[in-house]
Amino acid sequence: MKKILIVVAIVITIIMYNKETNIIIPESSIRFRVIANSNTLEDQVNKSKLSKNLSSYIYNLIKDAKSKEDATNIINSNYHNIDDFVKNYLIMNNIHDKYDLSIGLNYFDQKNYQGIDYNAGYYDSIVLSLGEKRGVNWWCVMYPPLCLIDEDTSENEYTTLVQDMLKKYNA
């Protein structure tokens, strides 16, 4: 009986710990989204690599922002730099997709992230749409930096299903 109680206590502790580690996206945030051209492996890999590079670039612009308003001002004043970054990235990586870069209020469908539902609606955001905009999208929160929360450590690596599949079959 004592062993059963210990096992039950451990299970409850694990459940409570997992619930406490959910990241709640604050109302006062700036989202970041990249929509792939299509769901082909090439387009999804391109989206993943571009997302990682662009999010790092934007993070470096806003890392010292003290508020959402400060981050928004920095992003808005750097619109042309961000656009040039995307343009140059696409050229350097031989990606010929057209793109749309939208900074401001953009529509997001309802999301469930780590067990928490987020309502559909217009959110302050950066949205980069590639080509035909028919592929699965990638998104995170740029401010506060939830998608890059562990960027300064080498212990964490953010991957996608496509990246995991590539590693598995190219190993």
Q: Give the tens place of pLDDT for each residue, 52-111.
A: 999 999 999 999 999 999 999 999 999 999 999 999 999 999 999 999 999 999 998 887
Contact 32, 142 (CB under 8 A): yes
| Residue 1: band (very low, low, confident or very high) from pLDDT cuts 50, 70, 90 | low
Say yes or no to pLDDT of 7 above 50: no
Q: Given this model, what pLDDT does residue 70 score?
A: 96
- Rounded to the nearest 5 degrees, what angle is found at the Cα of 52, between the Cα atoms of 64 and 77? 45
| Backbone φ and ψ of 159, nearest 5° | -130, 170
Q: Give the tens place of pLDDT for each residue, 145-171.
A: 877 543 333 333 334 444 444 455 454
Contact 137, 129 (CB under 8 A): no
